Amino acid sequence: MKVMLADTNATFMENLSEKLKGGGAEVFTAGSAREAMDMSVAENIDVVVLNMKEFQRDGINVLSYIKKVQPLTEVIMLTTPSLVHLSIEGMKLGAFDDLLLPPDIGDLQRIINEAYIGRKDMATSTTLRETRVHETAQRTSKTEKGEK
């Protein structure tokens, strides 16, 4: 499985890369939006982990580009509560899931594996994506109301 980490924080990518490699993934890193777009195609990446806190609006552009030219590549967004609007937009554009920063490595590895399996079975992926859009909308509603 080929996983790309897209983030401007080299230390964060290095640490996360080592942990994911330990789980058997072939890991690539991209430090800019352009690099992420180019690498997703050149390396035929299976799953992208995209830090929306670092890329913000450029992250949406990366996601949109990847889903257009590599529709089977799954994208997992790393985000913050203040960027929930980008999470919702990303989910509508086809992101597989979103996780709050800093991510629990076990949760991230599980979701990467689900995304990879979903890539192999688009029907499953579509169902999971619809569920995640619904879950994201529910979290947003609770966040806006100040609930946990």
Residue-wise pLDDT for 21-75, tens only, equals 887 889 999 999 999 999 999 999 999 999 999 898 899 999 999 999 999 999 9
pLDDT at 148 > cutoff 70: no
Neighbour-count burial of 56, counting CB atoms closer than 10 A to its CB (0-12 exposed, 13-18 middle, 19+ buried) = middle
Residue bearing the bigger pLDDT, 133 or 27: 27
94 in the Ramachandran plot: left (φ > 0), alpha (ψ -120 to 50) or beta? Answer: left
CATH number of the domain encompassing residue 96: 3.40.50.2300
pLDDT at 122 exceeding the cut of 80: no
Based on the structure, what is the number of domains in the chain? Answer: 1
Predicted confidence at residue 123, as pLDDT, reads 43
Residue numbers of the domain that contains 69: 2-145
Residue 103: pLDDT over 70: yes
For residue 58, list its beta bridge partners: none
51 backbone φψ class: left, alpha, beta (φ>0; ψ -120 to 50): beta
Q: Which of 96, 6, 5, 4 has the alpha carbon at shortest distance from 43?
A: 4
